[in-house]
Amino acid sequence: MIFEAYANDLAERAVAFAPEAVLELAAGSGVVTRALASRLAADTLYTVTDLNQPMLDHAANRQGPDDRIAWRQANALDLPFDDASFDLVVCQFSVMFFPDKIAGYAEAQRVLKPGGKFIFNVWDQIEKNEFAEVVTEAAASVFPDDPPRFLARTPHGYHDVELVRAELGAAGFSEVSITTLAETSIAPSPRHVALAYCHGTPLRNEIEARDASGLDLVTDRATEAIAARFGSGPVAGKIRGHIVTARR
């Protein structure tokens, strides 16, 4: 619903560098892996990592057999790879979750060969991402005294491009370029969107921490709000992210 368009964009940017050895950080469900593997040359070595082994297993199962890919559980802040091992490091919508972003960037810089590239993306502020904003407002209407702000605080909380640029510089990167890409998120129904955000992200944890029985109410409220703004059939909302390329 929100990741595929940006995964394809990231994959196209990645293959333009014609890398021989690629490292993916925080691969999650493998959206970028599936987009990138199909575009890489037959002799490219592709190492796919995630902190969560079950998630990595899920991505590997969806990918299917591919001798070019090595699946490896790894912490992006403490990578188990030698210095100067990769031509390219990619990461989709995950650096926002790094507890120490400069440390994570420094690890990416360490494992890159001289002249290697680090490409990743981050979400723009929540006001530029319509579905996330509507769901956040719906959750706040249920808990006005203590609104669950996970989406605004974390996925959409690292949108300051000058901060991103400064932290990459602090980690040793040079020639940082950042572009902004607007896309459209499409879903078959308002309910689909509400379920994706309320049940499929850590927003769920924040809702249940306030009221263990409140998840269904927030999901219903979000469904109603999305339908009111976008219609009751298939829905489309604006999304926007920043694409970052840094050179070692």
DSSP-H helix ranges across the chain:
4-15, 31-37, 53-63, 101-111, 130-142, 150-153, 161-170, 190-199, 203-210, 215-230
Kindly state which CATH superfamily the domain 1-123 is placed in.
Answer: Vaccinia Virus protein VP39 (3.40.50.150)
- Asked if pLDDT for residue 153 goes beyond 90, the answer is yes
Tens digit of pLDDT for each residue in 162-206?
999 999 999 999 899 999 999 999 999 999 999 999 999 999 999
Residue 3's pLDDT is 87
pLDDT tier at 52, thresholds 50, 70, 90? very high
pLDDT digits (tens, 9 = 90+) for 64-94: 899 999 999 999 999 999 999 999 999 999 9
The distance from CA 95 to its chain's CA centroid, rounded to whole angstroms, is 8
CA-wise closest residue to 15 among 48, 41, 33: 41
If you average pLDDT over every residue of the chain, what do you get?
97
Q: Report whether pLDDT(2) > 90.
A: no
Query: Residue 234: which of 189, 195, 197 has the closest Cα?
Result: 189
For the chain, which residues make up each domain, given as ranges? 1-123, 126-157+183-240
The pLDDT value given to residue 19: 97
Q: Is 29 left (phi over 0), alpha (psi -120 to 50) or beta?
A: alpha
* Plot region of 30 (φ>0 → left; ψ -120 to 50 → alpha; else → beta): left
